[in-house]
A and B are shown apart, each in its own frame.
Chain A
Amino acid sequence: MSPENTFHYALSSNNAWAGYKAHQNPHFFPKLAGGQAPEILWIGCSDSRCPETTILGMQPGDVFVHRNIANIVSPTDINTTAVIEYAVAHLKVKHIVLCGHSACGGAAGALSDGRIGGVLDTWLLPLKTVRYNHAEELDAITDEKERVIRIAQLNVEAGIKVLMNNPTIREAIAERGLEVHGVFFDIGCGRIKELGCGTAHKSSSTISGDHVVRGKHGQLVFGQDGEAEIAAAQ
């Protein structure tokens, strides 16, 4: 697709999506315009393969979101800190989900020895620290993909520690039972699993069996001219 086409595509899809949503539920947009009351704060990677609301099967209004390179949580990063403050102190979310993922470019970057350049090396420093703190374990992993997965998981554990020390989060845990979860998204199968860190140390949410919930999902259909419309999926 040429640049102009992709641009046209997104705006045209939005048009189709808005029409479909309003048709499906006339109250959908008036309700959204009324305000937000999300229960989840999601902190994830900017990676294009991790669209949080989609992979969680949730709707607009459900998940407050911060996404950065390699889902790094640095205690003095004012960007992430402002998001946490707003979500926890003002919106009073009930869960914070920190999500790492397989095949993470940031994690792979932290495992390489060369300099990436620009500001990225500095941003990735916390991940480098994770690498050096767990050098023995990581070096023992011969498969490169597995090593990238492991450092990404250790990165979530490190991020959870930073979150658990955040004063606003500590207060919310003590006062109203805010839950903090470390999870991992496997791009190879699309599934999220709990890493057993945060407020719930042991995973209690592993889903067993193959039960599938069939929802009324919309499906985008594209014509050759790049125009999109939404049809109800079976």
Chain B
Amino acid sequence: MYLQETHDKVFENNKSWATEQVAKDPDFFKKLAAGQNPEYLWIGCSDSRIPAEQITGLQPGDAFVHRNIANLVCNTDLNVMSVIEYAVKHLKVKHIVVCGHYGCGGVKAAMTPKDLGLMNPWLRNIRDVYRLHEKELDAIADEEARYERLVELNVYEQCRNVVKTAALQQSYAENGFPVIHGWVFNFRDGLLKDLNVDFETILKDIQKIYNLTA
């Protein structure tokens, strides 16, 4: 029974992991059970190759995590909006990382002229990112390079979407945090690239229209 084997392996692995943590620190789970106090909110892609904690070396308890197809932050999506609100207002995270990755299947699917049924409404947001940066993207002749740039621009736009939320604007005005970071993960070398998103400028920029601090 192949399926049973993969499934059993998961429980076996989990048990080994738990035993190992206790061997290293007998109070490991006791401390975890006491509560969470993460400094990070991670908004990343569902892609199996990007487990937030493993690639950043963050430990259980360090990063609050939301993962969806192509790391999108949509204004009308109560799912991600709840995550941001909870992380900012209740957990008071200091950093919000939007992490995209080159070779993103979601971004690629959105660039395909094809009806993808149930996924259309979600992927439409990536097509809108393209439209916002149409001139720049159209000027890139190499298809692969254009697609990689779209991944970066998508991260940039999703950072802007985080900044547009009431939770972020109010907390930043009051506490001076959280700050937003845009990262891109590269499978070829396993490294994270910081896009050096200019958070202060974005904030000033969007508040002309999207100011929700009052």
Contact = CB atoms under 8 A, between A and B. Distances in A.
Interface of A: 1, 3, 6-7, 9-11, 13-18, 21-22, 28-30, 32-33, 36, 38-40, 46-69, 77-83, 85-87, 90, 94-95, 97, 102-103, 105-106, 117-120, 122-124, 168, 177, 179, 181, 187-192, 194, 204-207, 210-215, 217, 220, 228, 230
Contacts of A81: 118, 122
Contacts of B65: 46, 48, 51, 67
Contacts of B89: 117-118
A207 B14 CA distance: 10
Given A10-B57, A85-B119, A87-B46, 18 more contacts: A6-B94, A15-B191, A22-B189, A28-B190, A48-B40, A49-B61, A51-B60, A69-B79, A78-B122, A79-B77, A82-B119, A82-B121, A83-B68, A106-B86, A122-B78, A190-B28, A191-B15, A207-B15
A187 B30 CA distance: 8
Nearest to A82: B122
Interface string B21-42: 1100000111011011011100
A14 B57 contact: yes
A116 B191 CA distance: 39
A224 to B, nearest CB: 16
Contacts of A58: 10, 13
B179 to A, nearest CB: 7
B213 interface: no
Given A10-B56, A85-B119, A80 B46 contact: no
Contacts of B17: 54-57, 190
A228 B55 CA distance: 13
B14 A46 contact: no
Nearest to B39: A6
Contacts of A210: 19
Contacts of B191: 14-15, 18
A15 B52 CA distance: 14
Nearest to A54: B53
B192 interface: yes
A8 B17 CA distance: 27
Contact of A69 (B13, B83, B95): B83
A185 B95 CA distance: 26
B181 interface: yes
A123 B58 contact: no
A46 B64 contact: yes
A56 B94 contact: no
A86 B46 contact: yes
A213 B36 contact: no
A103 B30 CA distance: 12
A56 B10 contact: yes
Contact of A86 (B8, B52, B90, B106): B106
A14 B82 CA distance: 28
Most buried by B among A49, A95, A179: A49
Nearest to B62: A48
B64 A181 contact: no
A177 B7 CA distance: 13
Interface in B37-92: 38-40, 46-58, 60-69, 74, 77-83, 85-87, 89-90
Contact of B36 (A7, A17, A48, A68): A48
B7 A13 contact: no
